[in-house]
Structure 1
Amino acid sequence: MSLLNSSGRTATLWMLVAFIVTFAITRGITLMIRAGRGPFRDNVRGGLHIHHLVYGIFAMMFASLAEFAARPAQPWYEVLAVVFGVGAALTLDEYALWLHLGDVYWSQEGRKSVDVVVYAAAIGAVLLVASNPFARQAGVGNWAFAVSIAINLVFALLCAIKGKAFTSVCGVLIPLLAIIGAVRLATPDSPWSRWRYRPESHKLARARRRETARREGRLARWRDSLTGLGPGPH
């Protein structure tokens, strides 16, 4: 059984596309502003810099209120999904700002915004393709169904303990991901690493090498380019 019905899947697709496109456009504009190129400038009113997360919050509030109050049919249902996706992108693009309660958009902490946006987009994609893990299939008994759900949740919990929060969330929807994450090495700063890996152990050394490679690899450089950590004013 699908996790979403047909209308929910269509709305999720529109919301995901709006989310990704808005994030790409927003990052492009902010990078141009930082470089002093193009016609765009910071939105300053009376000496106050109004961040785009403000518009994002209001967009999500409007879309949510309209959905709950009006329960619109198609195509307005999809229109509200687009508005919510736009608002979510604007808000999560400045996730690091409201997490740290400071203007860290162009700092090292600003990388968290890109991470959260990537994770949110990936989870949205998983929702589109995943089946419902909590729907019992025909012919499956109550005990067998309960045991399968419990095992899957255990694997997902192991992923979280091993420092793989994203794999843990996606693993609830796609059990294979939870199994893969649970059997792989933990991250070096995770609870599992502290409990199970001795300071001089080969596993901890491997985990640290993998973490270093992840932080310095191609994806990390791509993330840094989106975060604006290259040369330029901060």
Structure 2
Amino acid sequence: MGHWFYRNIVEPGKLPLLVALASFVLTFLATRTVTRLIRAGKGPFRNVRPGGMHIHHVVPGVVLTLIGGFGSVAVGRHEAGAIVCAVLLGMGAGLVLDEFALILHLDDVYWTEQGRKSVEVVVLTTALLLLVLGGFSPLGVDEVTPEERQGRGSLILTIALNFVFVLVALFKGKFRMAIIGLFVWPVAVFGALRLARPGSLWARRLYRNRPRARAKAGLRAFHHDRRWDTARRRFQDLIAGAPDRVLPSRHPPDEGPPDDRPDRR
């Protein structure tokens, strides 16, 4: 195990990346634990409100990310400095991506259904970093032979072809498959060859006059979501907490509470 770790992590210079990944995951899990305790009213933790303003943890996250990122450029190959910067970068990224949905919606959607996007982004980022640590390179560059590297034409063609598959998967609404496909090209190919998801750019443009394709795509998306959504939501709830339930209103939306309704007699 020690020999494998040195040969695959230390020797190629991936130790700072491993440290950053560990710091990223631990910071995210610690942050979610604290926010869940605050939500439940347990423990000594409270929201930070200097002057009555709620300071979200994305703010210190941005500061730590900047320090870690610029610091890693400044220290260069200095090993101890690189490790410290990797820790700061991982911590900052964990804090920032934990509130990714807040940045995306420009609203405090942390405990809503929209807030699940933060968890999805964190899980996807972790998976991509693990792929890089495992030796995968973007667009299949790691699988190009030395002979192919010498021929610029074949190298550019390989990268361009893989990139096309990634773009097609993205246009078909297969965001996760497109991102993973950047590093594992068969995933992008699979996503590109499958039917597009309803509402995607591909479906809106190319299925507009093809009702059978639209119906088939909708049916396939329905079965896929029914098969995987429950398991994905349970996993997200386990590591990040379930979002708030939105109770249905007892009154029609165009009518206020009983005391405020106009007299219709």
- Is the shorter-chain TM-score for this pair beyond 0.5, marking a shared fold? yes
Structure 1 residue 114 corresponds to structure 2 residue 127: no
Equivalent residues in 2 for 1:179-194 (5 A)? 179-194=189-204
Deviation of 1:18 after TM superposition, in Å, equals 0.9
Q: Which runs of 5+ in 1 are unaligned?
A: none
Contact 2:57 2:96 in 1 (8 A): yes
Equivalent residues in 2 for 1:64-79 (5 A)? 64-71=69-76, 73-79=78-84
Equivalence for 1:175:
185
**3-state secondary structure, aligned to 2:146:** coil
The CA distance in 1 between the partners of 2:217 and 2:175, in whole Å, is 20
Structure 1 residue 222 corresponds to structure 2 residue 235: yes
Cα deviation digits, residues 145-198 of structure 1 (max 9, x gap) = 232222211211111111122321221222122122222332222122334444
Contact 2:38 2:46 in 1 (8 A): yes
Structure 1 residue 62 corresponds to structure 2 residue 67: yes
Contact 1:64 1:84 in 2 (8 A): yes
Moved over 6 A (4+): none
| Greater RCO (Cα-Cα under 8 Å, separation 6 or more) | 1
Equivalent residues in 2 for 1:1-234 (5 A)? 6-7=12-13, 9-71=14-76, 73-129=78-134, 130-131=136-137, 133-134=140-141, 136-140=144-148, 141-197=151-207, 198-200=210-212, 201-215=215-229, 217-225=230-238, 226-230=240-244
Return closer, same or farther for 1:209/1:6 CA change in 2, 3 Å cut-off: same
TM-score for both structures, normalised by structure 2: 0.77
Aligned length: 228
Moved more, 17-26 or 171-180: 171-180
The CA distance in 1 between the partners of 2:38 and 2:146, in whole Å, is 56
- Could you tell me the percent identity over the aligned residues? 36
Amino acid at match of 2:130: A
Amino acid at match of 2:83: E
Contact 1:105 1:227 in 2 (8 A): no
Return closer, same or farther for 1:44/1:188 CA change in 2, 3 Å cut-off: same
Equivalence for 2:3:
none
RMSD: 2.4
Contact 1:158 1:182 in 2 (8 A): yes
Structure index of larger Rg:
2
Deviation of 1:227 after TM superposition, in Å, equals 4.5
Q: Which runs of 5+ in 2 are unaligned?
A: 1-7, 247-265
Deviation of 1:22 after TM superposition, in Å, equals 0.8
Deviation of 1:72 after TM superposition, in Å, equals 5.1
**3-state secondary structure, aligned to 1:228:** coil
**3-state secondary structure, aligned to 1:139:** helix
